[in-house]
Amino acid sequence: MTQTTPAEICLARWARSIRTSPLQTMLTKCRPAISFALGLPGPELLPAEQLSVAAAAVLASGPGALQYGPPSEELRHQIVEIMRWRGVECKASEVFLTSGAQQGLSILAKLLIGPRGRVVCEKYVYTGFLQAIEPMMPEVHTIETDAWSGPDIDGLEALLTRVADPGFLYINATGHNPLSLTLGGEARIRLVKLSARALTIVEDDPYGLLQYEGDSAALKSASPSSIIYVGSFSKILSPALRVGWLVAPEHLHTALASIKEGSDINTGTFSQRVACRFIASGGLREHVSKLACAYRRRRDFMLDALARTLPSGSRWTTPSAGIFIWVELPEPYDAVELLDRALSEHGVAFLPGVAFCAKDSAHESARRSLRLNFSHCTEDQIEEGMRRIAVILRDW
């Protein structure tokens, strides 16, 4: 048996803390000078002025702005239009407002998986999804995937013959977190076909509007009822607003509302109305284009830095959407040890691949993989962060 190294102990703690401690706790605990770790928007790209105008207008509309109240009907109609940008035709009555995509996932886990039910996801998965389903203590069935080929749909079909009635398949088809992949046409067609055969798919799509090449429509665009869509304003407006939405069949809304009420009693109407004002001013489309343009530049800048920095035998993705690059280092590099040293000696953070493994059994390549975020840092910070990582790799 191999000895447990300090880096492994650190990794176990790190991965556990990612999965169990709130984002805020993690942010305050770990303050690296340069962070490629989290999926934060670029701070200077947040539309603070326009949002302050929108917030002032909402407050000026009367005390109702600060009162308990029903979800914003106007915002639900605006989301119908946003869904059209993603190729989806839906009705306002199908839009269910949530406190961020995360709450949407959590409500869906309670509704569709239930206690100790079954759920299917990829081997590499958004850690917040694992947090959302954890209270259900589900049987998690995973399918093979990687950042270059995407999910193994043959494997999924085989799995579905063995696993009866999974609550749903969780998929992040555009700008995958963490693998950064956007699914190609064939995989999409096969998934949609599967969804038509009584498999509910939960499509988590916070990055769908941040596309740099191509224009992939949401999976839901091809299958109106069996795919439940999870959307968010976090990456395209501001994560602090905590406004997200589901597009789900109307017959599920009473149950969704009841579960939501159990967790927050009332909905964040102030934030919803601020988002609504901002959108009504006509600024969202322009803002999203501005973000896509800025993030494309940052992505290219980071790709260029990776080509100069990483040892030969490394490979990395060129994401056409989203805010992450997935890197795989060759042997004998170890992303956890690299993180240890990057954090403690150089003030640089990223997340190691193992943090995203759906089950504790990390795959062989996970230890050599890292997820780098490119939306949060400026070009200067990207340059400096990669220079520091290069120093560690050179002295390995």
Which residues here bind ligand PMP, judged by CB under 6 A? 39, 100-102, 126, 128, 172, 177, 204, 206, 232, 234, 239, 244
**Least distance to ligand PMP, CB of residue 68, Å:** 22
Rounded Cα gap, residues 116 and 133, in angstroms: 10
User: Residue 374 is inside which H or E element, if any?
Assistant: none
**Least distance to ligand PMP, CB of residue 179, Å:** 11
Nearer to ligand PMP, 324 or 333 (CB): 324
The Cβ of residue 218 has, within 10 Å, a number of other Cβ atoms equal to 23
Q: What are phi and psi of 351, to 5 degrees?
A: -115, 135
**Least distance to ligand PMP, CB of residue 257, Å:** 18
Nearer to ligand PMP, 172 or 309 (CB): 172
Beta bridge partners of 257: none
Instruction: Encode 356-395: b = buried (16+ Cβ within 10 Å), e = exposed.
Output: bbbeeebbeebbbbbbbbbbbbeeebbbbbbebbbebbee
Nearer to ligand PMP, 18 or 58 (CB): 18
Nearer to ligand PMP, 107 or 302 (CB): 107
Question: What is the distance in angstroms between the CA of the first residue and the CA of the last residue of the chain?
Answer: 24
Nearer to ligand PMP, 188 or 341 (CB): 188
Beta strand ranges found along the chain (DSSP E): 34-35, 95-98, 118-122, 139-143, 169-171, 201-204, 227-232, 244-247, 315-316, 324-328, 348-349, 351-352, 369-373
**Least distance to ligand PMP, CB of residue 39, Å:** 4
Nearer to ligand PMP, 243 or 366 (CB): 243
Q: Which two tokens stand for residue 51?
A: 């949002």
Measured CA distances, 52 to 24, 48, 244 (Å)? 23, 6, 20
Nearer to ligand PMP, 7 or 244 (CB): 244
For ligand PMP, which residue has the nearest CB?
100
